[in-house]
Structure 1
Amino acid sequence: MERNGESCVQRAAAGDSAAFGLLVEEHTPWLLVRLTRRLGSHEVAEDVLQEAFIAAYQQLAELRAPERFGAWLCSIADNKARMWQRRRITQLNLLDQLDLAAPPEQEKQEIRALVRKAIGRLSDPHRDVIVHHYLKGYSYQQTATLLHLQTGVVKSRLQKARKRLQKEIMAMAESSTAQTFKLGPDDLAGLRHVARFTSDDPKRPIMHCVCLDAGGRVVATDGSRLLNWSSKGLASLPAPMILDSLRPEMIPDTDSATLILEEESATLQTADGRRMTFPATPGPYLKYQEAVGTPGPILAVVRSERLMACLEAVEPFLREQHDLVKSGWDYMP
């Protein structure tokens, strides 16, 4: 079978399971390395990756840009990993075992994020016992059997690993866990334009927001149209983030700024120290159909060959999105 990226994605979206199998084969190696590094366990990474592929297969018809399949799949895998980490850390209550002396203003969610990063910094022997005992929930004896160790060795390593985690976490707590992106004049002008495009519909607050999608796509809707713009400065964004109540006047009129994304907020900071902060939450954004609905018949008057060519190009998209088979599709040169 042909192994062409975009063609393979299109065939898979049309229901070709063999084509999707080729995509799985192509993207498994690098995603498995990425997830193993993040989760600290090859076994757990395989389980999370399997969940990501299932979700991707179920959502594949929603992917509007086949050439961005890799980045889109990566964002799904990262979200699945994030959900796994939050669930396991919360259930096992590792924070209580660590007995952290966090500052009063330090939120538990922020501490959990630090714990996840700190586990990744442990040595292999310490990380193995932490992952097996706390994250996978095995007893001392089960952990010892799985790692071919004595039970006393497991207990000793866990004690040392917890102390090491405390040191790592307290060191990292002093530094920011936020993601930062350098934005140029085109990025800022684009954000300003997108912010003007949002809706004020009080019944649909999600449309007051701007979505920063994985790979740098910036998406907003006014309820009848959906704007999709690409930002070079946000090209490395790994997962969607929703910016709430972003307004044009909040975007600084300057040649450059730094966008700082944290768990629940986003901040634009200029070189002279000005800061504009607004609420933010993890994505994803609403689907195209949920944003603009399904309109009635569309009338288009075309008066040039170039516009005619454009009409021919968008006709398949419109037919798919707006059920033009029923409403009819006709035009006159």
Structure 2
Amino acid sequence: MDRRGGTDRLDAVEDGILARRAADGDERAFTVLVRRHSGYLIAFATRLLGSRADADDCVQESLIVAWRRLPELRDPDRVRAWFSTIVARKATDRLRARPPVASLDDVEPEATSPRPDEAAVASSQLDMLRTVLDELPADQRTAWLLREVSGYSYDEIAREIGVSATVVRGRLARARATVFERMQEWR
């Protein structure tokens, strides 16, 4: 056993096996997963949030959620995509909770600030989009978030989630069709 509690033997173990062990309560397996994917998750969250400090907090919160919900993971071999989905949701929550950035000195009295009714509509649209995304199958939601929120190319998404670019195109097409259909009343 090494100083890290024996995790060096787990470093060569595949994600799916580690995720299954972690779901059964193996903290060492979860530690290896976190060490293996935290760099990517922080970069992903930073891209979504625009702040490394916010990204660190977001990933930490996401990993706490992931640890608690690991028994619910349906496809342990895709644990990284599952982590990414949790991070994307947490990042979305943080973005929605952010106060407006502009100071009062920068805003002209009748400038581009939305009227209360416009702000309410925008808030309702975001709530509806969140609901639609939550109801998408996880594979479609992950592909949609990586493309539409993070701006990944089809090939980047394919590499990230371990499928072909053709599969990514299909998932995105289905996700976009669902989002388009469900968001029709807001067009």
Correspondence list, 1:1-333, <5 A: 1-2=9-10, 3-89=13-99, 93-94=100-101, 97=104, 99=107, 100-101=111-112, 106-107=118-119, 110=122, 211-216=135-140, 236-238=143-145, 266-268=179-181
Report the secondary structure of 2:33's partner residue: helix
Question: Percent identity of the aligned residues?
Answer: 28
**Contact preservation (8 Å) 2:62, 2:87:** yes
- In structure 2, what residue type is equivalent to 1:43? A
Query: How far off its partner does 1:22 sit?
Result: 0.3
Moved segments of 4+, more than 6 Å = none
More helix by share: 2
Count of residues in correspondence between the two structures: 139
Deviation string for 1:28-59 (max 9, x for gaps)? Answer: 01111111122222122111111010000001
**TM-score, structure 2 length as denominator?**
0.59
The Cα RMSD (Å) is 3.8
**Contact preservation (8 Å) 1:49, 1:77:** yes
**Contact preservation (8 Å) 2:41, 2:84:** yes
Larger radius of gyration: 1
**Contact preservation (8 Å) 2:17, 2:77:** no
More strand by share: 1
Gaps of 5+ in 1: 114-177, 179-205, 217-233, 240-257, 269-275, 281-333
Query: How far off its partner does 1:15 sit?
Result: 0.2
- Name the CA distance, whole Å, in 2 between partners of 1:25 and 1:8: 12
| Distance change >3 Å, CA 50–CA 21, structure 1 → 2 | same
User: Which shifted more, 98-107 or 47-56?
Assistant: 98-107
- Name the CA distance, whole Å, in 2 between partners of 1:78 and 1:8: 22
Q: Which has the higher contact order (CA 8 A, sep 6+)?
A: 2
| Distance change >3 Å, CA 103–CA 17, structure 1 → 2 | closer
Deviation string for 1:261-291 (max 9, x for gaps)? Answer: 6xxx9324xxxxxxx85579xxxxxxxxxxx
**Contact preservation (8 Å) 1:267, 1:277:** yes
**TM-score, structure 1 length as denominator?**
0.35
**Contact preservation (8 Å) 1:6, 1:66:** yes
Gaps of 5+ in 2: 1-8, 147-172
**Contact preservation (8 Å) 1:6, 1:67:** yes
Deviation string for 1:86-112 (max 9, x for gaps)? Answer: 2232xxx4367453515767436749x
| Distance change >3 Å, CA 235–CA 85, structure 1 → 2 | closer
| Distance change >3 Å, CA 24–CA 260, structure 1 → 2 | closer
